Structures are given as C-alpha cells and as structure tokens.
Amino acid sequence: MSWHPQYRSSKFRHVYGKAASKDKCYDCVPITRNVHDNHFCAVNPSFIAVVTECAGGGAFLVIPIKQTGKLDPHYPKVCGHKGNVLDIKWNPFNDFVIASCSEDATVKIWDIPNQLLKRNITTPKKELLGHARRVGLIEWHPTADNILFSSGYDYKIMIWNLDVKDSLLSKPVKILDVHRDVVLSMSFNTDGSLLATACRDRKIRVIDPRAGTVLQEGSYKSHKVNKVLFLGNMKKLFSTGTSGWNNRQIALWDQNNLSVPLLEEDLDGSSGLLFPIYDCDTHMLYVVGKGDGNIRYYEISPEKPYLNYLMEYRSHSPQKGIGMMPKRGLDVAACEIFRFYKLIPTKSLIEPISMIVPRRSESYQEDIYPLTAAAQPALTAQEWLSGINKGPLLVSLRPGSEAVNSLPQFLEPEPLTKATDLSQQQGGGGRTLLEDKKKPREMEDGRKWLKVEEKLPKNEQMCLSNGFGIFECPPPKTENELLQMYYRQQEEIRRLRELVIQRDVQIKQLELELRNLSTDTGNH
C-alpha cells in the first residue's frame, strides 16, 4: 500500500472536485453503448466530441463548447464510418481537426467548420487505409505536426504522416510489428521520442517508434496491465490493471527497468477499468474509474514514496467515458487546474467536473499555473521523422494574452528586439522557415536582428520556450493563425510600451540623483 501521510506540505493538498450546475451540462446526448475500453470523448477549448449511437455505421457528435443545455435530437453528426467508432482525438495543434478510428478498419481525419453544424459531415479530409482488422486506438504526436499513430486488432501500430496532399493514404511511414496480441494502451513521453504500450499479453513495452525497436519489455505476475502512462520527464511509467485476485490495481515503474514495479497497490474489488490521466504541469495524477463515479487523485514525487494520495471525488452517477480539457481552456480566475467531462449514459448527460485549488485571492495564481504546452507544434512531421527531438513549446496561462490559444509566448518579459522591426512582422515577415532565410528581404531582416542582438545583454535577447529563434517558426497558413499572430504582436507592443515607461522612470530618477550630486558638490 502507498504511504498516505496525515500531514504533508503541498499546494494541491486541498484540491476538490466541483460538478457543473445542470445548465452548464450537455443534456439529451445519445452516448454510445459500445463496451470498448476507451474515453469516447475528446475536448478542446472550441468543441466537445462524443461517440454516439448511430444506425447503419458509426458516428460522433461535435458540439460547440459553449452550447450547453439540451441537445436537439436532430443535431447533425459526423458519420462517415461503416462500423462503430472506437476512438476520437482532436489534433493538439488545430482545434478544427479531429481523427477517428472504427471497426471498419479505417482511420479518418475530419475538418470541423468554425460555425454551428447544419448538416451531417460524411466526407473526411483524409482516409487512412492500412490496418487489416478494426482500429481500436489513435494518438497524435505531442510535439510534431501532422503525425498520427494508430493501433489495430492486427497487432500492429502504424505511423502516418498527414503532411501530404493525398486524401487517401494506404502506406504508413512506419509499421511497428512488435506485439503478439492486441495493444490496449499507448502513451508518449514529453518530447514524443518514446512510446509506451500495454498489451493483452500482460507486457509493458517502451518502444523507439522511429527505429521500431523495443527498448524495455516487462511484466509482473501479480499485475495484469490494462492502461499505461508516461509520467512526463520523471522517467517513470504508471499503469492500471488487475491483481491475481481480480482487484483493481495501480503500479509505478522505472522506465529503464520493467522487471519489478517500484510500487504496487490494490484499490478495490470493482470490475470497471481504471483510466490514468497525468498532468505534467502540476505533477498530479488522476485515476478515473469506469463504471463508478469516483476520481482519485495523487501527487507524484521523484523520490519515495513516489505516489502521494490527495483526495477522492465521489459521485453516485457512474461514468462510461471521460474527456479532458487542455490547460489553455481552463478558467484560471477560478483557480481551476483541471477539468473533466464525464459521460453518464444512464442520464444521456455530459457533466463537466472542475478540479479547483481553494484560494481567497482573485489575482492570477502563478504558482499553480506553470508554463504549459502550447497549441503550436515544435517540429514539422519531416523533422521528427528524420530523427530530431524537441520538447513542446510553452506558454503562460496568464490572462490578457490572446496568443495562448495557438502561439507560444516568450519566456523573457522584455523583448526589445521586436521594436526594431514591427513593420516587417505586421506583414508576416517576422516568422519564416529556416530555408526561406536566403530570400533578400529575410536576409535584410536577419542583419537588423543580429545588429540589435549585439547591443542587447544576453538576458534580453528573445527566444521561445524551447530554444527556437523568431525566424524558425512556421508562417501563418490560415486567416485564423494570422489573426492570432496579430494579437500576439499587440501583446508585445503593450509590453514594449510598459518597458519604455519603466525606462523613462529610471531615467528621471537618475537625472534627479545627478542634480542632487551636482548641488552637493556646489555647496562644498
């Protein structure tokens, strides 16, 4: 059993779950009756998608996040699959692109319009045909753009590069054929260089996805694994499953040694699956029970006892699936650090549950909102496939910055370099690809940039959170991205103005000191 101390210093010790009021829930939603062990729900700051019942094939609903209350029974569906939909996932870098997989052995990529759906969507943007049997899991790469992993009942994991013009893809860029049974769970580490899988053969594997090799493989006789999760950069894995006595069980592993778990704990005797969800910003781990209404949450520490129990959210309404809102969609004014969307099929209801840190102050609580992953890729698909690894771009959740939804903020609060070349940035010249630097205008901009950098102290030179220079970011491809770049520039201009005001105050203070000194000298 894990150690549950009576008193422990932690800012998350008093986190509590708060269910939304009835008018903030999504009612009359025909949630799927499929018994597949998946979340059946995907959420981003714009939409909530949920797998639904559909005659003659598979479908899912895409509901605008603000459209709460009762759902129209004739609300349009996304229905292009010939079999039941088994998994859906939003593109982490585009709120209007979603992937789905189905019993019909296909994976489809869908474009969702930026307005209320008026008719069913039946034609996908792309269709991926590679698996011989039904596809049970899909996962987007966490840092590379347009890389999708799919896992089927043919025991294969396929890697797809969607950064191509073809609408029908039949050849994945890589096939991982290292499993002897059905893959039950997939999880990436922070930079997406490693993939952890749980398989029906009871083994946990850590795989290098580009090389296609198994780096670590292990199983434990008293732990039948169902789901596995990378715990950020802690070099640990967390798994849920069942014990030899069919008790629900959790286990913690060293990713470099899967022979024996670091920790193993029986939770209860219920039969439902346990979904593990990790928040690498706060180091909090949530364990959601399928078929019951409980959400247990823990805090992970790098040293023993590793797993520190915090609290348990209890509810009488059992959940069939669960959705998670990305950090950029949270209400920071209410000190909300996580939000679940709980599927309750018995009531045809989707109920948001906010995890809240109780604070009296109404100001922004920087200590509970560290920099978090941005909705902007750190790599192109081709860069990742060629072997490059980069961690996610990071942004602050501090209110007042529109750029949080798509573009990363800068770590340094005083980006003076932008003042020299705002006119070029308004035209989009401030963010170009590396290969475009040879163009005359960009070379001229680059010279200006270097001249300014030479004059600045090191701590005031601008860089993105993962080390990107300003010229390495891809240019905006859509009107929406261009608009968000404009918002970011407005934010930078505001900061520059504040900086100029601060410098003016400093200059005045220095002038006053000089006058005082000259007066004192004259008196003597």
**CB neighbour burial string for 250-266, b if at least 16 within 10 angstroms, e if fewer:** bbbbbbeebeebebbbe
- Taking the alpha carbons of 44, 46, 52, 57 in that order, is the dihedral positive or negative? negative
The four Cα atoms 424, 461, 386, 189 give a dihedral, to 10 degrees, of -120
Residues 223-257: tens digit of each pLDDT: 899 999 999 888 999 999 998 888 999 999 999 99
The Cα 73–Cα 60 span in angstroms is: 13
pLDDT tens column, 252-280: 999 999 999 999 999 988 888 999 999 99
Residue 37 CA to residue 198 CA, distance in Å, equals 13
Closest CA to 313 of 288, 332, 338: 288
Does residue 426 sit within a domain? no
State residue 501's pLDDT score: 85
DSSP per residue, 131-171: -SS-EEEEEE-SSBTTEEEEEETTS-EEEEE--SS-SEE--
In a domain, 509, yes or no: no
291 within a domain of the structure (yes/no): yes
pLDDT at 373: 92
Q: Decide the pairing of beta strands 174-176 and 157-161.
A: antiparallel
pLDDT at 378: 94
Beta bridge mates, 395: 372
Region class of 353: left (phi > 0), else alpha (psi between -120 and 50), else beta: beta
- Residue 199 forms part of a structural domain: yes
Under-70 pLDDT residues of the chain? 1-8, 401-475, 477, 480, 522-524
Task: Flag whether 31 is in a domain.
Answer: yes
Enter the tokens of residue 466. 């993962």
For 160, residues 6+ apart whose C-beta sits below 8 A from its C-beta are 107, 128, 130, 147, 148, 149, 150, 169, 172, 173
Q: Where in the sequence is the domain holding 215, given as residue range(s)?
A: 16-373
Per the structure, the count of domains in the chain is 1
Q: Which pLDDT score is estimated for 524?
A: 62
Cβ contact 141:190 at 8 Å: no
**What's the pTM value of the predicted model, to 2 decimals?**
0.75
Residue 249 lies in a domain: yes
Beta bridge partners of 271: none
pLDDT value at position 215? 95
User: Is 367 a member of any domain?
Assistant: yes
The predicted pLDDT at position 473 comes to 53
299: domain CATH number is 2.130.10.10
Number of alpha carbons in the 13 Å side-chain half-sphere of residue 99: 24
